[in-house]
Structure 1
Amino acid sequence: MFRSLMRTTNDIVPFIARITLALFILPHGLQKSAGLFGGYAIAGTVGFMESVGVPTALAYVAIAVESIGGIALLFGVFGRLAAAALGVQMITAALMMHRASFFVGQQGGGFELHLLAVGLALIVLLKGSGRWSVDGATPSPAPRSTPSPI
């Protein structure tokens, strides 16, 4: 199972999807976890999320998924797992926070960027991390030999 999470192709398409998703999501994760890019760091993010009805545990999960998942995608480490977690995160965020509007510029924000992120995550989930990834550099396991009956 561990190896199946790292299985990938040498294709350029999942590489492009992975890097695009990482560059989209990692700054958001760093806002939430480290206070970079005008963010509120962990305490401020958790406080805000609690104020809009997000359970505390889910707030911490969101911070971890965006921060750790963004880094994992950037380097292509367990890309399928990171993409699955980020896809679920984006669907959850769209349903909890942005379902009133489609476009980001509308009151309360929108969910069209969440759909884009889910689409990119699906590519990585289905194809793996792609070219130039740690997953791709990890050697595949040797084929198992079936013992012959004596």
Structure 2
Amino acid sequence: MHDTLIGALKARRLYLRVRWEVRLRALPPSSALAEPDALVHLMDWTLEQFYQELQTGPRHSARESGQPRCPCGLNPLIAYFVTGEAALMEIMLDPRGRWAHLEPGLCTEEITIAREAIRRVAGREIDAFCAVCQRKDAPKTTLPSSFLRG
């Protein structure tokens, strides 16, 4: 990613954080740990990790993106990172933004690099949370068996 575009993302950091928080608060939390008030304090740290990923690029040990990350589906960081990526894409796809003035191929490349960087950060953090999850072997469905028998 070009240094000037990394700088442009850093310059929009506050706006990115605000848009991310708005999106996060719009979702119903899946658990107490997914409450936006419990997650917003992570945003500055996460953005630093994201900018670091943009500068260093992928590492050879990066895992395949096709593997499931959360067997139970209750990880509060899933919604956190989905909304963060959505806010990032909102900024990068804004027709008034810096990326709109790039040639289409370069714009697509920059967006792909940014998306991959935020997903690498997300993958590490989601995996770390899942490593201590007490439900990692539980099936995704949480309905009582009486409901399943009909």
TM-score normalised over the length of structure 2: 0.36
